[in-house]
Each structure stands twice: as structure tokens, then as C-alpha cells.
Amino acid sequence: MSGDYEKNSDKPLAPGLYLVATPIGNLEDITLRALRVLRSVDRIACEDTRQTQKLLNHFEIHTPTVSYHMHNEGSRADELTAELKLGARIAVVSDAGTPGIADPGGQIAAAAIAAGIDIFPIPGANAAISGLIASGLPTERFTFHGFLPARAGQRKTALEELVRGEVTHVFYEAPHRVLDALADVEEVFGVSQHVVVARELTKLHEEFLRGTAGELRSQLAARASVRGEIVLMLAPSPAESSSEQKRASLTVEVAALMKSEAISEMDALKRVARERGIGKSEAYRELQREQNRPR
Ligand code: SAM
């Protein structure tokens, strides 16, 4: 911690564009700064005014709203930029999470920058980052892809074109497509591809499923239906990742399997060894080395 925190709650809000993150399911995930900005701006541009109104009602915010969505992004961006040029303070929010991330926000940000208007990120909830940090997968390098293509052929091509190696891949996926996506992941990357599905993050039924694509597919297919919002993550390719990274993730992987499958450490270790194509005793020695390594 640097100790250089800004305490700007008593300053009037400067003119400009505010990109404000809102919760992805849990109302407590709104920040104090987001509330202050939403209360103080002249207008809030919303992906869906009715959706945002629920949030505003909850926090007793009475700022006027205007719609700003996929279908009017271009024209509305021009209109809002004209107001910003006159010194307005405008917030942009999406239905949930961080605007501009698989959501509207990018066009108005670019238009405001081109017009020389000040632009302020108001950080907060984001599904991809929330899923990633609790996935147990390496976070040093990751690529966020937004949604996988909905069409089967395009989805498979998108997977085939991924640059693997030491990179964790993060996708948003619709619940009714996740079984097909997992089948494609297995087909493209093989039976041992480790996957994490993060579902309903920050909500009552939040859950993490960790295992091979096939295991997760069977687990989800056994349910009456797959519901909720989903972040799908692919572990780096073991064959191409560095030995250091492999070592670093063995303990995490074993612990994650023990928890998600309610199995013993030995059973989890056997599974991880099988998935990595190494012997049980080699995996055991590796686990011991990791656990005894000075931190
Ligand atoms: N801008 C948002 C953000 O910052 O995360 C993402 C918007 S995108 C249109 C919506 C997708 O994000 C959902 O279909 C799902 O894949 C993912 N998502 C949003 N909320 C989620 C949650 N609570 N749990 C898991 N995934 C979520």
C-alpha cells in the first residue's frame, strides 16, 4: 500500500465522462465512489434504463437517465459528446459490471477522447476478473475473449485459433451453450484439458466447477437445466507451460479437486497425475517439493 489514497468525497465532481462499474449480482459490490458519482452527475447513460433504475431506486439516487445501448451507441455517443463539450458531467453504466467490457461504453469513450474531454474510470465489479482470481488457474498471463461465437463451426474455429502456452483463457458463455462449448473444448484440446466454470458470481448460488472439460460437461449435463451467468476458463496448455508454472499450480489443482469433488488428497493427486501424463509417485514428489519450498 502506497498510502497515496485520494480523499475526494467533498470535492465537486469535475466535468467529463465517468465510466462507472455496477454490481454483477451483489448490491454490496457498488463502491462509495460509484454512488457519489451517480448521485452527482447531470445524466446517467444506461444500457437499459429500467434495469439501472432498480439500482438507482435501491440507493435512492434521483439522477435523470438516458438510454445508451448497442443499437443507438453511435448516434447517442455523438449527442452525449456534444453535451460533454459544453461542460456536462455524464456517467455511463451497463446493466451489470464494468461498461465497455462485453458491453457498451467503448464508442463513447473513444468519441470523448477524440473531442478532448476528460474521462474517468470508476472501477468495480467485473465477472471475468472475479472468476479468474478465484479459479485457481495461473493469473500471471491471461487473455479475455468476451463471448465465444454462438455458432458451432465458428466456435470451434475460435478455439482452434487460440494461442496456448502459458496463458489462461477467459470467456463469457451463455448457460444454454455451455455444454456444447465444453464438448468443443474437449474435442479441440483433448480429454485432459483442465477447465474452470464460474457460475453466478457474487450471487446466492455462486459456484466454481473445476476439472477436465469432459468431467464438467457430465456434471452439468446431469442437472435438470444449466442456468445462471457463466465465466468459462481454460488452463494453460501443460505441454507448453514452463515447469515452474506447472509446479506452482499442482498444489492449487489438487486442493481445488479435493474441494469440488470431495475426494482425498491421494485421489486428487492421482487424477492430476493422470491428466498431466506423469506418474503418481512423480506427482507426489512434486507436491511434497512444492509444499516444502520456502515462501
Ligand atoms: N460488463 C460485464 C462485466 O464487467 O463483467 C459483462 C457483461 S456481458 C454482456 C454478460 C456476461 O458476463 C454474462 O453472460 C456472463 O457470461 C458474464 N457474467 C456477468 N455476470 C456474471 C456473474 N455474476 N457470474 C458469472 N458470469 C457473469
Tell me the pLDDT tens digit for each residue of 230-261: 999 999 986 544 444 445 478 888 888 888 88
Q: Are residues 121 and 161 in the same domain?
A: no
Phi, psi of 234 (to 5 degrees): -110, 130
Give the per-residue pLDDT at 241: 44
Average the pLDDT over each of 183-192, 257-266, 284-293 and give the range with the smallest value: 284-293
47 lines ligand 1 (CB under 6 A): no
Distance 289 CA to ligand 1 centre (A): 38
Give the per-residue pLDDT at 32: 97
Burial (CB count within 10 angstroms: exposed 0-12, middle 13-18, buried 19+), residue 249: buried
Q: Are residues 246 and 205 in the same domain?
A: no
Give the per-residue pLDDT at 275: 74
Contacts of residue 237, Cβ cutoff 8 Å, sequence gap at least 6:
164, 165, 189
Could you tell me what percent of the chain has a pLDDT over 90?
70
CA–CA distance, 278 with 275 (Å, rounded to integer): 8
Decide if pLDDT at 136 tops 80.
Answer: yes
Name the DSSP class of 2: -
Distance 216 CA to ligand 1 centre (A): 20
| Of residues 198 and 191, more confidently modeled | 198
- Set of cell numbers at residue 263: 475426494
User: How does residue 266 score in pLDDT terms, banded at 50, 70 and 90?
Assistant: confident
Give the per-residue pLDDT at 242: 45
State which of 71, 105, 125 marks the end of a domain.
125
45 lines ligand 1 (CB under 6 A): no
CA–CA distance, 48 with 72 (Å, rounded to integer): 12
Q: Are residues 137 and 209 in the same domain?
A: yes
Tell me the pLDDT tens digit for each residue of 83-120: 999 999 999 999 999 999 999 999 999 999 999 999 99
| Of residues 271 and 170, more confidently modeled | 170
**CATH number of the domain enclosing 34:** 3.40.1010.10
3-state secondary structure 166-205: CCEEEEEECHHHHHHHHHHHHHHHCCCCEEEEEECCCCCC
200 lines ligand 1 (CB under 6 A): yes
Decide if pLDDT at 37 tops 60.
Answer: yes
Residues 184 and 194: beta-carbon distance below 8 Å = no
Domain membership of residue 3 (yes or no) is no
Distance 286 CA to ligand 1 centre (A): 36
pTM: 0.81
Give the per-residue pLDDT at 10: 73
Give the per-residue pLDDT at 264: 87
Q: Are residues 114 and 84 in the same domain?
A: yes
Give the per-residue pLDDT at 107: 92
250 lines ligand 1 (CB under 6 A): no
98 lines ligand 1 (CB under 6 A): yes
104 lines ligand 1 (CB under 6 A): no
Q: Which of the residue ranges 54-68, 158-172, 230-244 has the most confident prediction, judged by mean pLDDT? A: 54-68
Distance 230 CA to ligand 1 centre (A): 7
In ligand 1, which atom is closest to the CA atom of 174?
14
In ligand 1, which atom is closest to the CA atom of 25?
23
233 lines ligand 1 (CB under 6 A): no
Tell me the average pLDDT of the chain: 90
Domain membership of residue 137 (yes or no) is yes
Burial (CB count within 10 angstroms: exposed 0-12, middle 13-18, buried 19+), residue 70: exposed
Q: Are residues 119 and 167 in the same domain?
A: no
Domain membership of residue 11 (yes or no) is no
Three-state DSSP at 67 gives: strand
In ligand 1, which atom is closest to the CA atom of 232?
16
Contacts of residue 23, Cβ cutoff 8 Å, sequence gap at least 6:
29, 30, 55, 96, 97, 124, 125, 202
Q: Which residue has cell 454490496?
A: 28
State which of 90, 125, 160 marks the end of a domain.
125
Q: Are residues 215 and 260 in the same domain?
A: no
Q: Are residues 110 and 132 in the same domain?
A: no
Decide if pLDDT at 2 tops 90.
Answer: no
The total number of structural domains that make up the chain: 3
State which of 94, 125, 156 marks the end of a domain.
125
Give the per-residue pLDDT at 49: 96
| Of residues 26 and 162, more confidently modeled | 26
Q: Whose CA is nearest to atom 11 of ligand 1?
A: 172
Domain range enclosing 157: 128-234
Give the per-residue pLDDT at 245: 46
168 lines ligand 1 (CB under 6 A): no
95 lines ligand 1 (CB under 6 A): no
| CA 6 vs CA 3, 61, 125: distances in Å | 9, 24, 20
In ligand 1, which atom is closest to the CA atom of 129?
5
**CATH number of the domain enclosing 203:** 3.30.950.10
Q: Which of 19, 20, 24 to mutate to test the pocket of ligand 1 (most atoms within 8 A of CB)?
A: 24
Residues 22 and 97: beta-carbon distance below 8 Å = yes
83 lines ligand 1 (CB under 6 A): no
178 lines ligand 1 (CB under 6 A): no
